[in-house]
Structure 1
Amino acid sequence: MNGGLPLLVTRPEPGNSATTARAAALGLDAYAMPLFAARAIAWTAPSPADFDALLLTSAQAVRLAGPQLAGLAVLPVYAVGTATADAARAAGLTVAQTGAAGAQSLLDAMTSEKIARILWLCGRERSGFDSRGAALEPLACYAVDAVDPPPGWEERVAAPAVLLAHSARAAQRISDLVGSRRAHLMLVAISPAVAAKAGDGWAERAAAAQPDDASMLALAGALCHKGQK
């Protein structure tokens, strides 16, 4: 099977294994290279009566929230990406809308619908968003910690390859790790904002049309084969 350039998947588990498997099924030469590990942290669920909706920007929030998540099941869920929406439904939550263009776009849609009190179940490290006047309350239920690059990382990034950045932190970490030696590397980000965090100097830097694995892998596949020519 000819998968073109190697594809390096940097997201934490369990998403890493899922993305790597999807890439391999598409015939890509994919390698699991997680640069982060996710873990649950202590949190206390507020009264759902204080909110109009639950915002989820990562499936990790659903996977790591624990039993307290059930207490928020009465709130309609606004999820960024199909993977997050699927995880929410599997946990017994009701998804009112799935955002296809990132968290800010989804927040804009929520406020245009006059949703005023929003609970954002999120990670300890998170990006900032313009709440457009709504009361947006972030509540961390998990943390994503940087880990040492796995064995084989240095060898892989020393040669032409395509790297996936599923978050702004991932883009920044990849950029820091490869430094200025990146003119032979291509990077695929989950959104334009994430791509910007990776900086310049790549052989190619591109953002997926939709914030999900399918869109990222379609773009990565094209770059893997393009880079091989």
Structure 2
Amino acid sequence: MILKGSQRGGCRQLGLHLLKTEENEHVEIHEISGFVSDDLLGAMDEIDAISKGTRCKQPLFSVSLSPPQSENVRVGVFEHAIAMIEERMGLQGQPRVIVFHEKEGRRHAHAVWSRIDPEKMTAVNLPFFKTNLKDIAKQLFLENGWKMPQGYVDSKLRDPRNFSLAEWQESKRTGVDPRDVKVAIRICYNQSDDLNSFARALEERGLFLAQGDSRAFVALGNLATRHDNL
């Protein structure tokens, strides 16, 4: 099951999107929990209203759950996946909605949580949520015996280490293998949710973000004198 998540604002806009029937043959509101309202748009409005009492600009955590094309997945499998996400992200007890969409007989789901803790009036932090979602997705493929995407089977099939002639020549001058630099940068990128966490991850590996001449940023540090391909 492919899981794609995002922290976002635009509560009512997301609610309207989830209710669209133009792109889906069937829309089912499966669950609305933790809200005063019992309808989807009302729930989204509640999240928006409570977020205004905080500094949080992205009060929603939205995840789409897409099963393999060839599989007809039971509702219980989606519920299990959502429970795994909720536990891993520390969102237990947070208000949430679950919506099922069906197109050409194939079901997929959307789960949306409020990140705002109403007692503390702070947002639940979601560090490395992209990496966590990928780990959960891989576990779901294994649990259900689904054919796993190639990128999950062997990371070498998505190898970021190919490098140019100019990079190879630079490696000869500096004695640093550009493949090692690219791998380090890619690992940091995949584990990061924003620019600040990306910069911190690079610093742990002896690399530092700096403003570049022809690109937005370059990485400088002990692994390489310069690497532009961020």
Fold agreement, TM-score > 0.5: no
Which of the five TM-score ranges fits, normalised by the shorter chain?
under 0.3
TM-score, with structure 1 as normaliser? 0.27
